Amino acid sequence: MDKTNFRPEGKNLYGIFNDSFPPILDGVTLTVENYVYWLARKGRVPCVVTPWNPVKEEHPYDVMRFFSLPIRSRHPYRYGYPKLDPYIWKNLRNTDFKLVHAHCPFSSGRLGVYVKKKNGVPLIGTFHSKYREDLKHSFKYVPWMVPIIMKRILDFFNACDEVWIPQAEVEPTVREYGYKGPVTVVENGNDLASKVTGPLDLYKKDAKMRLNIPENEIALLFVGQHIWEKGLDTVIDSLRLLSDRGVNFRMNLIGNGYAAREIQQRINDYGLSGRVTLNGIIQERDRLSDFYAASDLFLFPSFYDNAPLVVREAAAMGVPSILLEGSTAAEVTRDGKNGILTQKSPEKFAELVEHLSNNREELARVAVGARESLVRSWEDVVNEVIDRYDSLIRRKQR
């Protein structure tokens, strides 16, 4: 069993539990990475608890891994099986946790509940995703499993001392799943704005040059899992319409997922391979910031996401998003002020992109609004998190 970087003699550790961690990269992983980075910078001692991964990475903090197997339908994700791990339970009991914060209700979340009961420490659970949609895809051949696992998810959140959500609009989903307790809004942060030194317009111009994107093209971007639930069919179909209308555009997609091959095939079938590029996962933040900065619009027609970090990352680089009216992702968006809202329709998306391509001053105004209203540093967020941690610990010690 790999016990990479785990030193059980650590004292007063802040346990950050999650089912995904580098080399797996997604919005929740990025949240966890920034939590542990800034906790350490603020003098707290984090310990990550996460499923084992065959790709070894070194980290400057404790990492406790437990047995896992790959999820075939969601490569490169893995599912943890702590019941098959002879070490994890003893390691958890013998670790001096001060508090546990679980960012996932599955295997790592259940381990968080175990630590709470055995070690008597407070447990926080953050509701990051629309888990039912993920389960419906993963168990499409055995749908009777979905309500069973949803019951376990509800049991996890009911066991938490506090339940956090990343924005207020997530609460209806939490209630739909059956959770009746109080919720606390704790926003996510952003680490890209600090990469801009000097005027943003010059930074963006240099990024376009580095990526060979001409100024006369409207540069479009999507970052996230390549799964149909995120509305990528709407994106690709709207690009075919833009091409038919003679709009001069360039589209970059960053990420990976089960639908990546089908997306590439659709791009090829539509004759868009010269204008649309699937770049895979980009882990280097400097290179990823170039793709954001070189873009003019972020396309995100998703009803699936709760509080997507990517929308705020785009805003940090002066890139407004086109989002869906009524989506949870669009809660913080004011149409025409810091983003653009529309219906889930390739025609509507294509019309908006074409309109903004021909009205760059309007696009620039919305971009300024996005950067001014949607960007909050992770350092600021974790300062708030530490205050909330300390308050909960004091309450539990009374």
- Predicted confidence at residue 21, as pLDDT, reads 94
pLDDT one-digit tens code per residue, 193-230: 788 878 899 999 999 999 999 989 999 999 999 999 99
pLDDT tens column, 250-260: 999 999 989 99
Rounded CA-CA distance 319/220 in Å is 9
The domain spans of the chain are 13-189+378-397, 193-373
pLDDT at 159 over 50: yes
Please state the pTM of the whole predicted model: 0.84
Average pLDDT, whole number, for the chain? Answer: 92
| Backbone phi, psi, residue 80, to 5° | -85, 140
The CATH label, of 3.30.530.20, 3.30.70.20, 3.40.50.880, 3.40.50.2000, for the domain at 13-189+378-397 is: 3.40.50.2000
Instruction: Note if the bond before 76 is cis, omega within 30 degrees.
Output: yes
Q: What is the pLDDT of residue 90?
A: 94
pLDDT in tens, 140-151: 889 999 999 999
The superfamily in CATH containing domain 193-373 is Glycogen Phosphorylase B; (3.40.50.2000)
- Asked whether the beta carbons of 184 and 168 are under 8 A apart, the reply is no
- Taking alpha carbons only, the member of 65, 62, 71 closest to residue 53 is 65
pLDDT at 4: 45
pLDDT, tens digit, 9 for 90 and up, residues 319-373: 999 999 999 888 889 999 999 999 999 999 999 999 999 999 999 999 999 999 9
> pLDDT per residue over 91-129, tens digit each?
999 999 999 999 999 999 999 999 999 999 999 999 998
pLDDT digits (tens, 9 = 90+) for 5-63: 444 455 689 999 999 999 888 889 999 999 999 999 999 999 999 999 999 888 899 99
**DSSP sequence for 52-98:** --SS----SSEEEEE-EEE-GGGTT-EEE-GGG-SSHHHHHHTS-EE
Q: Does residue 301 have a cis peptide bond before it, meaning omega lies within 30 degrees of 0? A: no
Residue 75 has pLDDT above 80, yes or no: no
Share of the chain above pLDDT 90, in %: 79
Distance of CA 179 to the CA centre of its chain: 22
Whose tokens are 């790592």? That residue is 108
**Confidence category of residue 245, pLDDT binned at 50, 70, 90:** very high
Closest alpha carbon to 94 in 119, 66, 112: 119
pLDDT of residue 197: 77
Domains 13-189+378-397 and 193-373 share a fold: yes
Query: What's the pLDDT at 26?
Result: 87
**Rounded mean pLDDT, 170-190:** 94
Residues 238 and 70: their CA atoms lie apart, in Å, by 34
Torsion, Cα 150 153 157 158, to 10 degrees, reads 60
The pLDDT value recorded for residue 131 is: 87
Q: Per-residue confidence at 386, pLDDT binned at 50, 70, 90?
A: very high
Backbone angles phi, psi at 117, to 5 degrees: -70, -40
Residue 8 has a pLDDT of 45
